[in-house]
């Protein structure tokens, strides 16, 4: 029973239960299902062989035989350290978000059903090893997200939901174009098989890559890259993110920032880079420049925000810039740091959005300028918020610090050292906007309205149940980085980095 299929389709069972049972049970079912998913994920993690190369827990089943190739499209799932670490993150963040969803009152049945469908889609993306299956999960994830923002969102939810949907679909069709080209030329739907072909092409000095034509490879890579970059989101494809975040309800923002943004980075690491290593090398400079713009520009824009949630949203843009920066460096350290950034940002950003949610539930607005002196009213909340802020800006002891330092070391070792130095500026600005926000929201004088203890109680037990686990994991990852790094380093060290190195040698000839 302990299989990836169980893991992925467990939420679907929960969703059907939600549909059948009365709506007052929906939230309990959601939490129970998410908890069960986390348990299954952890059990799989324990049973995973840490030394084995390649994908584990593989499952094959004939699905659409004879489409394009003889075997056709398969139900093919499997997992390696990269996928496993993100599956664990997904299950964990989803459970905290499910707890945070406790007080959703509008159409709870529909909400929790969509939530669980989203969970299936997200888990599916990280375990799918068939390109068609991957794409199906990739898109299936969009539909519940669209409804979650559109029905349960804030006042401008219609605009935000359609903008989110249009941006990501635009990315998706470019991804689809890339997938069709790959399948057309390689006659294979299997991700490991195409990766192997790319490796062979590079090893035999074939500059044409998997598509047999370097220009076509470059076009396909750019298409796929944009497809994933929209999800990251990378400058200049990031503008959907602040709108979606501001309008989405708190738990959905947590999922959006904590998990959905990781899909882009995962796609780059799993598909775009290994399939087209030469094109990735060729685009390295452009990607690095865009990443640095995202880091610095994102941080500056965050500083200019007056809306608490928008500020956090732009900080995500800035932080996700490190992911693409680390990748574009194409060193083992850089990619390692990028991966760690995704995991660290997953828990920290979920925590930050919960922090915003807590105060929004009480004050019903998010204007930073209207807050002040909350530290004296809600001391426990203040402590949690300042910890989250400090970990996000890279305080040693939190996972963000490890992620940033590893990424920087990697980026320095890479070909674009100057850009890495400019990116350092982003950290300073990040510190500036977090400290300024901390001061304006929590310190200074408390306006009269917030002194009402009845209206502004300190964090409740339910909120603590969301925030504390996230905090614990963040600190753990900040102190013991090896747990996660040992889990996922296999693919990076043995497959991706050698591939990219050979490709850049091939390009230099």
Partner 1 sequence: MDWTPIIPAAELTIGILAVIVVDLVGRGRHPWLTTGVALLALAGAAASAVLQPTLEVTDGAQTVLGVLQLDQFSVVFTVFCCVTGFVTILATVRGEAFKTPGGEFLVLILSAVLGMNLLAMSVDLVALYLAFELVSIPGYVLVAMRRADARSNEAGVKYVLFGAVSSAILLYGLSLLVGFAGGTSLAALGEAVAGGAVTTQPLWIVACVMVFAGFAFKVSAVPFHFWAPDVYAGAPASVAGFLAVASKAAGFIALIRVVGAVVGPAVPVAPDALTAFLPEGGALITIIGIAAILTMTVGNLAALRQTEIKRLLAWSSIAHAGYLLLLLTVWSEQAVAALLFYLIAYLFMNLAAFLLAGIVIRERGSGELSALRGFGRRNVGLSLAFAIVLFSLTGLPPFFGFAAKLQLFYVVFERGYVWLGVIGLVNGVISLYYYARVLSSLYFQDGESDAPVMRLSTFDAVFCTLLVVPILGLGLFWSGAWHWAQAVAEDLPLVMGVR
Chain residues in the site for partner 1 (CB under 8 A): 63-68, 72-73, 107, 135-136, 139-140, 142-143, 146-147, 150-151, 157-158, 161-162, 165-166, 169-170, 173-174, 176-177, 180-181, 183-184, 213, 215-216, 219
Q: Indicate the residue among 124 and 400 with the shorter CB distance to partner 1.
A: 124
| 176 versus 473: smaller Cβ distance to partner 1 | 176
**Residue 104 or 499 with smaller CB distance to partner 1:** 104
Question: Helix, strand, or coil here: 459?
Answer: coil
Write down the least CB distance from residue 139 to partner 1, Å: 5
11 touches 123 (CB < 8 A): yes
Query: In the complex, what is the shortest distance from the CB of residue 67 to partner 1, in angstroms, rounded to a whole number?
Result: 5
C-beta of 318: minimal distance to partner 1 in Å?
Answer: 27
Choose among 255, 245, 248: nearest CA to 99. 255
Q: Shortest approach of partner 1 to residue 143 CB, angstroms?
A: 7
Chain-centroid distance of CA 272 in Å reads 16
Matching residue, tokens 């009152």: 105
- The residue among 161 and 190 lying less far from partner 1, judged by its C-beta, is 161
Q: Which is nearer to partner 1, 279 or 499 (CB)?
A: 279
SS3 447: coil
For 52, counting Cβ atoms within 10 Å of its Cβ (0-12 exposed, 13-18 middle, 19+ buried), the class is: exposed
- Choice between 3 and 107, CB closer to partner 1: 107
Residues in the chain: 509
Dihedral angle sign, alpha carbons of residues 262, 267, 273, 274: positive
**Nearer to partner 1 (CB atom), residue 103 or residue 158:** 158
Phi, psi values for residue 232, rounded to 5°: -55, -45
Strands (E) in 10-103, as ranges, are 56-64, 73-79
Local structure of 79: helix, strand or coil? strand
CB of 201 to partner 1, least distance (A): 19
For residue 275, the minimal CB distance to partner 1 (Å) is 16
- Whether 374 and 358 have beta carbons less than 8 Å apart is answered as no
**Closest approach of partner 1 to the CB of residue 13, in Å:** 17
| Interatomic CA distance for residues 144 and 116, integer angstroms | 9
Number of H helices, E strands in the chain: 24, 2
């Amino acid at each position: 029973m302990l299989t990836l299929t169980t893991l992925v389709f467990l939420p679907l069972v929960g969703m059907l239960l939600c549909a059948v049972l009365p709506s007052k049970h929906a939230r309990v079912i959601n939490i129970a299902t998410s908890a069960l998913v986390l348990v299954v994920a952890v059990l799989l993690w324990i049973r995973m062989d840490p030394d084995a190369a390649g994908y584990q827990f593989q499952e094959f089943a004939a699905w659409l035989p004879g489409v394009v190739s003889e075997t056709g499209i398969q139900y093919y799932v499997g997992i390696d350290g990269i996928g496993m670490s993100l599956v664990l993150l997904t299950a964990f963040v989803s459970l905290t978000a499910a707890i945070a969803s406790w007080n959703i009152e509008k159409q709870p049945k529909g909400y929790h059903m969509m939530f669980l469908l989203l969970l299936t889609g997200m888990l599916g993306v990280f375990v799918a090893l068939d390109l068609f299956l991957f794409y199906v999960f990739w898109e299936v994830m969009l539909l519940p997200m669209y409804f979650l923002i559109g029905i349960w969102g804030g006042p401008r939810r219609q605009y935000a939901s359609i903008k989110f949907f249009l941006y990501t679909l635009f990315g998706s069709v470019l991804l689809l174009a890339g997938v069709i080209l790959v399948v057309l030329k390689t006659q294979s739907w299997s991700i490991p098989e195409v990766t192997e072909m790319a490796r062979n092409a590079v090893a035999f000095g074939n500059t044409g890559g998997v598509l047999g034509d370097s220009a076509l490879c470059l076009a396909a890579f750019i298409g796929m890259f944009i497809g994933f970059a929209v999800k990251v989101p990378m400058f200049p494809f990031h503008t959907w993110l602040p709108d979606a975040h501001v309008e989405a309800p708190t738990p959905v923002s947590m999922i959006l920032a904590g998990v959905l943004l990781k899909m882009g980075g995962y796609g780059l690491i799993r598909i775009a880079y290994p399939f087209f290593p030469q094109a990735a090398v060729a685009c390295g400079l452009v990607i690095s420049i865009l990443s640095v713009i995202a880091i610095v520009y994102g941080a500056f824009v965050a500083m200019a925000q007056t809306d608490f949630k928008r500020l956090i949203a732009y900080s995500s843009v800035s932080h996700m810039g490190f992911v693409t920066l680390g990748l574009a460096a194409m060193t083992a350290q850089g990619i390692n740091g990028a991966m760690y950034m995704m995991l660290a940002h997953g828990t920290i950003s979920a925590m930050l959005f919960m922090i915003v949610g807590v105060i929004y539930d009480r004050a019903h607005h998010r204007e930073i300028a209207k807050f002040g002196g909350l530290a004296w009213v809600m001391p426990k909340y203040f402590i949690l918020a300042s910890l989250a802020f400090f970990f996000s800006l890279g305080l040693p002891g939190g996972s963000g610090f490890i992620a940033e330092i590893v990424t920087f070391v990697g980026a320095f070792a890479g070909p674009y050292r100057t850009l890495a130095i400019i990116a350092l500026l982003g950290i300073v600005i990040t510190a500036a906007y977090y400290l300024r926000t901390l001061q304006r929201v929590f310190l200074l004088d408390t306006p009269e309205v917030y002194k009402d203890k009845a209206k502004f109680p300190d964090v409740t037990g339910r909120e603590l149940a969301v925030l504390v686990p996230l905090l614990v994991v963040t600190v753990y990852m900040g102190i013991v980085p090896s747990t996660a790094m040992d889990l996922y380093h296999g693919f990076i060290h043995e497959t991706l980095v050698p591939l990219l190195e050979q490709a850049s040698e091939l390009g230099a000839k």
